Amino acid sequence: MSVEPAVLDPHDEQDTPRPDPPGGRAGWAALRPLVLRLHFYAGVLIAPFLLVAAATGLLYAGSYQAERIVYADELRVPAGKGELPVSRQVAAAREAHPEGTVSAVRPSPEDGATTRVLLSGVPGVDADHTLAVFVDPYTGEVAGALEQYGSTGALPLRTWIDGLHRDLHLGQTGRLYSELAASWLWVTAGGGLVLWFGRRRARRRVRGATGRRRTLSLHGTVGVWAAVGLFFLSATGLTWSTYAGQSVSDLREAIGQTTPAVSAGVASGGEHAEHLGAGGPSGVQGTDIGLDAVLARARAERLSDPVEIVPPADASSAYVVRQIQRSWPEKQDAVAIDPATGEVTDVVRFADHPVLAKLTRWGIDAHTGVLFGVVNQIVLAALTAGLIVLIVLGYRMWWQRGRGSSFGRPLPRGAWQKVPPHVLVPAMAVVAVLGYFVPLLGIPLAAFLAVDVVLGEVAHRRGERTYPPAG
C-alpha cells in the first residue's frame, strides 16, 4: 500500500528511503513499508476520530463519580430504622407523578439509597428514556425526579456524555464516527506494535534521545504499554456498533451464543383474566399478589440486591424480577412470577449463559466502566488519556519530520506491489473478510488504496520516481 509524497515515516530515523537489497525484498523487509504506510494513513486520517472518541471517553470515565455528586440529593437519604413496603413507596411516587405508567421499580439496594420508580410514556420525556422518581424508602417522601436512560440507570449528566461519546448527539449518522474509530483503533495499535518491535532495541530508547527520535521513542513506549487496553476498547466498542455489531450478533445467533431472556408469558393468564378490580402497578386489571409478595418470592429464588421489578405488560404476562448489578461478580439472574398465584414460571441464571454471552456482558461492562467500579473507571481514564498522548505525539513526529512543512518528506509509493505474492494474496483475503464484517474498516481501506494507486499513476505519467533507486 502506498501514498503520494509527503508521507511521514514515524518509525525510521532516516529522512530518505533505504534502497532495496539486491534480489528484492523478502520477509519483514517487504512487509515493513506496507505496515508503515497503513499505520501512517490510520494515524493521520483516522486519528481525529480517535481523538474525539478518546476525549469523550475520558469524560465518560469520570461521569459516574460526577453523577453521585451532582445528584446526591436524589440518590441518597439519611438511613432509617426500617423501610416501608415497596408498594407504599410506589404509591407515594404515583401521588407525586401520576403521569405515564410504571415500567419498573428498583427498590433501595443499600442503606441510605433511594428507591427508583421508573415511569414510561411521560409527556416531555424521550420515548427511549424513563422518568425516575426517587423515593425515600424510610419515609415515603419523594426526593426528586430525573430522566433516566439505559440499563445502567444513567441520569441526565451521564446520559449527555454517553450520547456525546456514542454519536456526538447526531443520532444514527453520528454513530458512524465512533464505529470508524473502533474499527481502526486495533489496526493502528497493532501496526505500531509491529513497527516498534521490528526496530533494533537501541533505537527504542528514550533516555539520551533528542528531537524527533525522542518523540518517536515516547510514542512507541506509551503505545506498547497501552496496546492491550486499546485492543480491548476496540473489540468491545465494535460489539454494539451499528454494522460490525450486527455481524457479531449474527455470528452469536448462528452458533447458539445469544443472551437468553426470561419468558414473561403466563400460561394461566387466560384463566385469571376474568378476575378484575385489583389493578397492579402497571394498570393491568386482574388478580395481583402485589409488588411486595413478588419481591419476597424473588428473594426466595436467591435474587439479592440490586434488583429491578418489571410489572406485567398485560393480563397474560408475568412480573419479571432481574438482578441489575454490573460490577464484579455480576448479578444477572432473572425470574418470572405469575401475578395471580405467585408461582415462578421461568428462571434464567447468569451462570447458565453461553460463554460468548458472558464475555460480551463482561466486555461491555468493562468498556463502560462498571465491571470493577472505581478501579475500572481509573483504568479507562488512563487508557483514553494515553491514546490522546499517542495521537498528539504522532502529529508532532509528522511536524518534526517535515521541518514544519505541510506534509513532510516523501516516502516511496507502491509498497504493496513489492510484497511477495505468497504473503500478499493471503493478506488480501484476510483484509477482504475483515472488510465485509467490519465495513468501516474495509471501505476506508479500499479508498486509501484507490487514492494511492491513482496518485502513483499520476506520478508515473509525470515521470516522477515512485520507488527508491536500487543498489
Rounded to whole angstroms, the Cα distance separating 179 from 158 reads 20
Question: So what's the pLDDT on residue 447?
Answer: 84
Reply yes or no: is the peptide bond before residue 329 cis, omega within 30 of 0.
Answer: yes
Closest CA to 147 of 167, 118, 172: 118
Strands 130-135 and 142-148: what pairing? antiparallel
Tens of pLDDT, residue by residue over 312-331, are 999 999 999 999 999 999 99
Question: So what's the pLDDT on residue 333?
Answer: 98
Question: Which pTM was predicted?
Answer: 0.85
Does residue 256 register a pLDDT over 60?
Answer: yes
Question: Chain-centre distance of CA 95, in angstroms?
Answer: 38
List beta partners, residue 256: none
Give the mean pLDDT of 293-300: 98
Q: Are the C-beta atoms of 224 and 68 separated by less than 8 Å?
A: no
Tens of pLDDT, residue by residue over 184-219, are 999 999 999 999 888 766 566 666 667 888 899 999
φ and ψ of 98, to 5 deg: -75, -10
Question: Chain-centre distance of CA 404, in angstroms?
Answer: 37
Does residue 61 register a pLDDT over 80?
Answer: yes
Task: Using pLDDT thresholds of 50, 70 and 90, give the confidence band for residue 176.
Answer: very high
State the cell numbers at 463.
515521470
Question: So what's the pLDDT on residue 6?
Answer: 34
φ and ψ of 322, to 5 deg: -135, 145
Rounded to whole angstroms, the Cα distance separating 82 from 193 reads 58
Task: Using pLDDT thresholds of 50, 70 and 90, give the confidence band for residue 464.
Answer: low
Domains observed in the chain: 28-61+168-253+374-461 (no CATH), 73-154 (3.10.450.40), 260-352 (no CATH)
Does residue 413 register a pLDDT over 70?
Answer: no
Task: Using pLDDT thresholds of 50, 70 and 90, give the confidence band for residue 31.
Answer: confident
Question: So what's the pLDDT on residue 207?
Answer: 63
Any residues with CB less than 8 A from the CB of 414 and at least 6 apart, and which?
Answer: 2, 456, 466, 467
Q: Are the C-beta atoms of 30 and 418 separated by less than 8 Å?
A: yes
Closest CA to 28 of 206, 251, 194: 194
Percent of the chain scored above 90 by pLDDT? 66
φ and ψ of 332, to 5 deg: -135, 20
Closest CA to 322 of 345, 341, 286, 349: 349
Closest CA to 308 of 289, 341, 331: 331
First to last CA, the chain: 22
Q: Give the 3-state secondary structure of residue 313.
A: coil
